[in-house]
């Protein structure tokens, strides 16, 4: 092994000597030729020495330079790789930042879409509520219109009363008390009026005689009939209209009353009765 290394070093030394001789020899000649060229043509620029671009990069091809050549040096390799690593790190950082930015944009977009969806749902709910309120208002307006029409119909029919029957109560001269037959007649007339509202009763008293005496007698007889209807059949007083006509002429004739009597007429409004039912 030692012998092989010695031979290798010896061969390397032999190769170094001719190389140095070749480099030193042309140097002087080159200087002389350059001096001659400068002397001959002083205005021309000197030729630039070409830099070697081979594997050795200007180093002599020997064992020592081979061992110490930059391509075989770890530090040199490290210097060449460091910028590449820096660039890769920068690219990784940029990629990470871009990914983060994309995620942030996507998150904001999703949040915006969610907010928009919530607002759309809220708007739909408000629209539904408005529609329901409009329908309720329309229904209320329809009911109010119906009630107004019914009220107008009732008002127009207030005067449309029809004769529901007439009962005549006779009294003896000078008496105002009701007889049994008179009470029975009033009972038969008032019984159907129970729980009814669309009616009123007209009571008219007649008495023979003259002037205020006849009017007073007819008033007392009419009061007896009204009192019996109110106390016995609970007919409201405001539904009874009493008149004291005294010795007034009988309707449709020129003859005057010849007997004491009270005419009781029931007037009904069929239109109001049907509306209430």
143 plus 67 within the same structural domain: yes
Q: Domain span at residue 180?
A: 162-276
Among 186, 209, 189, which residue's Cα sits nearest to residue 199? 189
213 plus 259 within the same structural domain: yes
Mean pLDDT over the full length of the chain: 75
d(C-alpha 200, C-alpha 237), whole Å: 10
Element counts in the chain: helices (H) and strands (E)? 6, 4
More confident residue, 136 or 154: 136
- Indicate whether 266 pLDDT > 80: yes
| Contact call for residues 202 and 264 (beta carbons, < 8 A) | yes
272 plus 172 within the same structural domain: yes
Could you tell me if residue 265 is inside a domain?
A: yes
* Domain edge (last residue) among 135, 156, 177: 156
131 plus 226 within the same structural domain: no
* Domain edge (last residue) among 156, 172, 207: 156
| Contact call for residues 214 and 265 (beta carbons, < 8 A) | no
Q: pLDDT band at 43, cuts 50/70/90?
A: low
Could you tell me if residue 5 is inside a domain?
A: no
The pLDDT tens digits for 151-191 are 776 666 555 667 778 899 999 888 888 999 999 999 999 88
**CB-neighbour burial class of residue 128 (10 A; exposed 0-12, middle 13-18, buried 19+):** exposed
The pLDDT tens digits for 209-221 are 888 988 999 999 9
Tally of structural domains, the chain: 2
The pLDDT tens digits for 73-132 are 677 667 778 888 888 998 999 999 999 999 999 898 998 898 898 889 899 998 999 999
Q: In angstroms, what CA-CA distances link 6 with 1, 12, 69, 220, 222?
A: 9, 10, 21, 173, 169
271 plus 236 within the same structural domain: yes
């Amino acid at each position: 092994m030692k012998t092989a290394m010695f031979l290798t070093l010896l061969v390397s030394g032999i190769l170094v000597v001719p190389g140095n001789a070749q480099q030193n020899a042309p140097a002087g000649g080159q200087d002389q030729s350059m001096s001659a060229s400068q002397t001959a043509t002083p205005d021309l620029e000197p030729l630039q020495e070409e830099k070697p671009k081979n594997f050795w990069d200007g180093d002599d091809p020997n064992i020592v330079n081979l061992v110490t050549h930059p391509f075989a040096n770890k530090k040199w390799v490290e210097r060449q790789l460091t910028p590449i690593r820096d660039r890769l790190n920068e690219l990784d950082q940029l990629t990470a930042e871009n990914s983060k930015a994309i995620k942030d944009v996507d998150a904001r977009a999703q949040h915006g879409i969610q907010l928009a969806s919530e607002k759309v749902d809220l708007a739909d709910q408000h629209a539904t509520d408005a529609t329901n309120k409009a329908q309720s208002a329309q229904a209320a307006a329809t009911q109010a219109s119906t009630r107004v029409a019914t009220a107008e119909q009732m008002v127009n029919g207030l005067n449309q009363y029809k004769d529901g029957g007439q009962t005549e109560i006779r009294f003896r001269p000078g008496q105002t008390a009701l007889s049994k037959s008179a009470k029975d007649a009033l009972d038969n007339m008032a019984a159907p009026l129970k729980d009814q509202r669309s009616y009123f009763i007209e009571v008219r008293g007649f008495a023979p005689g003259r002037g205020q005496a006849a009017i007073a007698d007819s008033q007392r007889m009419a009061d007896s009939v009204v009192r019996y209807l109110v106390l016995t059949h609970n007919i409201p007083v405001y539904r009874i209209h009493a008149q004291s006509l005294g010795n007034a002429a009988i309707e449709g004739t020129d003859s005057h009353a010849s007997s004491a009597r009270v005419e009781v007429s029931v007037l009904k409004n069929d239109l109001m009765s049907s509306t209430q039912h």
